[in-house]
Amino acid sequence: MVPATGLCEGCMRTIDEIVAWGRADDATKRAIWAEIRRREAQIAFD
């Protein structure tokens, strides 16, 4: 986890999202995926 963002460095999900993922329906997963893409776009990879 990255302490500053609270995100998993690998999958860019929060602890809440990883825990919820296993029971999430497809719409919820798609919404999280959209959020992951948004987060990826904000992070500068070196």
Partner 1 sequence: MRLPASMQVFERGWLSANNILFIGRSETTLVDSGYVTHAPQTLALLRHALAGRPLDRIVNTHLHSDHCGGNAALKDAYGCRIAIPVFEAAKVRAWDEDALSYRATGQQCARFGFEATIAPGDVLTMGDLRWQALSAPGHDPHALLFWCAQEGILIAGDALWQNGFGVIFPELAGEPGFGEVRATLDLIAQLAPRLVIPGHGAPFLDVAAALQRAYSRLDYLAADPVRNAENAVKVLLKFLLIERRAIPLAEVTALFETVPLLVLARERFLPRSSAALAQWAVRALEKAGAANLREGILADA
Nearest distance in Å: CB 5, partner 1: 13
Residue 2: partners with Cβ closer than 8 Å, 6 or more residues away:
8, 9
Task: State the nearest-atom distance from the C-beta of 13 to partner 1, in Å.
Answer: 10
The whole-angstrom distance between residue 32's C-alpha and the CA centroid of its chain comes to 6
Nearest in space to 5 (alpha carbons), one of 31, 38, 34: 38
State which amino acid sits at residue 13: R
Q: CB-wise, 1 or 34, nearer to partner 1?
A: 1
Give the footprint of partner 1 on this chain (CB under 8 A): 1, 8, 10-11, 15-16, 18-19, 21-23
Q: Minimum distance from CB of 42 to partner 1 (Å)? A: 20
